[in-house]
Amino acid sequence: MNFIKIKFGNNFEEEFQRAVDEVFHLVSPAFKCYECIWRPHIDVYESTEEIIVMADLAGLNREELHIELNRRQIKIAGVRKMISVVKDARYFLAEIPHGNFARSIILPAAVDAESAVASYAEGILIIRINKLPANKTHRILIKTAE
């Protein structure tokens, strides 16, 4: 499902025109689309030692990907540019999404962010992250007050 995002800024007419363009693009791809938003498909797998995140990102260059990771969440963001095969072509069907995307996924367990390794081949991004031990305890030393 696509959402229409209307944000009124300093130039009301320009923002309104962009919103109208996006509505007409949803009705018929022959209309120009100002900004498309898409959500790539993501799989998350869990084993006893690691968490594996796979993202379907066909058509992106590795340099256009941005990945952020902390102990409980991963964010994958980037942009897929529109591929124009023929100039001034009239579309009869346009289903390949393009534009900016950002996905934030809550991980099923705490992970060691320093252990993350990412690979990207044939349109699939694979990120492997070691889990932190769930039963590991950390002893806290108590200092004397001075």
Q: Which letter, b or e, does each residue of 61-80 get, where b requires 16 or more Cβ atoms within 10 Å of its Cβ?
A: eeeebeeebeeeebebebeb
pLDDT for the residue 33: 46
Residues 112 and 48 in one domain: yes
Residues 71 and 114 in one domain: yes
Q: Indicate the helix (H) or strand (E) that contains 18.
A: helix 12-27
118 contacts 125 by C-beta, under 8 angstroms: yes
Q: Is residue 136 part of a domain?
A: no
User: How many domains would you assign to the chain?
Assistant: 2
Residues 31 and 43 in one domain: no
pLDDT for the residue 34: 43
Residues 76 and 10 in one domain: no
Residues 46 and 105 in one domain: yes
Residues 121 and 80 in one domain: yes
Sheet holding 99-106, edge to edge: 65-69, 73-80, 99-106
Instruction: Answer yes or no: pTM beyond 0.85.
Output: no
pLDDT per residue as tens, the chain (146 positions): 566 655 555 566 667 777 777 776 665 555 444 445 688 999 999 999 999 999 999 988 888 899 999 999 999 999 888 777 777 777 777 778 888 899 999 999 999 999 999 999 999 999 999 998 877 676 778 887 76
Domain assignment of residue 73, given as a range: 39-130
Greatest Cα pair distance, the chain, in angstroms, is: 78
